[in-house]
Amino acid sequence: MQPTAYENILVEFPAARVGLVRLNRPRAYNALNGPLMQELMDALTALDSDDEIGCLVLTGSDKAFAAGADIAEMAEATPVELAQMNFIHRWERLREIKKPVIAAVSGYALGGGCELALACDMIIASETAVFGQPEINLGVIPGAGGTQRLTRALGKALAMEMVLNDRRLSAGEAVQFGLVNRVAPVESYLQEAIDLAAAIAARAPVAVRAAKDAINMAFETSLAAGLAYERNHFYALFSTEDQKEGMAAFLGKRSPAWTGR
Ligand code: DAK
């Protein structure tokens, strides 16, 4: 895929089959205004439909992943104006991305920034990462999944404290409570995320997408329905060339060569 010119993000290809999107509004701590969100979702969608990409990484700067939605943009908005700005639909588009998305988070991940990281599939954090939902200080509550995803990830007690009283989590707490996969020094957290993405991107692509979809279904449904969903994906994968190749390679004691078909 050719790099596209964006104003608020950067798209890079740091490893084989890995697409990296950097939020790039440094003067506003990567506050997520409408144009940035539009570009972000366009870029993620383009990478998602590119067969040469197997896994995505989303990052900000070392100082700030993102300090939330753009308060200046929202401050005077009416509910109708928020709807007209396509505000909600832009955020919903992240749920449609089928390839794994790894957030590489350093510095502030506040409000919508925290929610954006939570909406990704995995999080690699730097030692300086701070996760918080400070919307209560603005007279509102999280609106992009914070009350739901934090509660599922951390349990009710801590989610309540974070959302009702702006309790922030350090990187160490975030890994202790299972919010992030691991913590790395500022110098290497992004490379760790890229390495993880490259490892996943080298695996059987159809199975990787099916695995993401099945795990996400665990948050949407009962156990019985989720187990049935998983089983259907399992059976369906036997229609892929990669299943035949993977099992033949194992039995032939060689490495598989995935085609993504
Ligand atoms: N919006 C706009 N500008 C921001 C910003 C933000 N969220 N965060 C920082 N900035 C700007 C500051 O205004 C300042 O700009 P200048 O004055 O230099 O022009 C610049 O970034 C540097 O900020 P500070 O001077 O404040 O720097 P400090 O180091 O002192 O503090 C900080 C850094 C990140 C702790 C602080 O800036 C801060 O507390 N920022 C606000 C954090 C916050 O409250 N975030 C939550 C916002 S509400 C939804 C989708 C999303 C959302 C809701 C609904 N739907 C789909 C329905 C999300 C809502 C939110 O995120």
187 CB burial (10 A radius; 0-12, 13-18, 19+) = exposed
How far lies 23's CA from each of 32, 74, 150, 168, 172, in Å? 9, 19, 22, 22, 24
Region 205-251: CATH code: 1.10.12.10
**Atom 29 in ligand 1: which residue has the minimum CA distance?**
29
pLDDT at 60 over 70: yes
Indicate if 115 belongs to the active site. Answer: yes
Query: CATH 3.90.226.10 occupies which residues in the chain?
Result: 9-201
Q: What's the pLDDT at 88?
A: 78
Cite the residue boundaries of each domain of the chain with CATH code 1.10.12.10.
Answer: 205-251
Q: Provide mean pLDDT across the span 6-18.
A: 97
Name the nearest CA neighbour of 181 among 112, 240, 252, 105: 105
> Could you tell me the distance, in angstroms and rounded to a whole number, from the CA of residue 67 to the centre of ligand 1?
5
**2 pLDDT higher than 80:** no
Q: Is 64 annotated in the active site?
A: no
Beta strands in 71-196 (DSSP E): 101-105, 108-110, 122-126, 130-132, 169-170, 182-184
Instruction: Return the percentage of the chain with pLDDT > 90, whole number.
Output: 92
Evaluate: CB of 143 within 6 angstroms of ligand 1.
yes
Would residue 252 show up in a list of annotated catalytic residues for this protein? no
Level-2 CATH architecture, domain 9-201: Alpha-Beta Complex (3.90)
Average pLDDT for 55-65 = 98
Mutate to test the pocket of ligand 1, among 29, 89, 94 (most ligand atoms within 8 A of CB): 29
What average pLDDT does range 39-63 have in this prediction?
97
Answer whether 110 contacts ligand 1 (Cβ < 6 A): yes
The model scores a pTM over 0.85: yes
100 close to ligand 1 (CB < 6 Angstrom): no
Please indicate whether residue 60, judged by its CB atom, sits closer than 6 Å to ligand 1.
no
Q: Is 163 in the pocket of ligand 1 (CB under 6 A)?
A: no
**Catalytic residue flag (residue 220):** no
| CB count in 10 Å sphere of residue 151 | 16
Which tens digit of pLDDT belongs to each residue from 188-244?
999 999 999 999 999 999 999 999 999 999 999 999 999 999 999 999 999 999 999
CA distances from 173 to 68, 193, 240 (A): 20, 19, 41
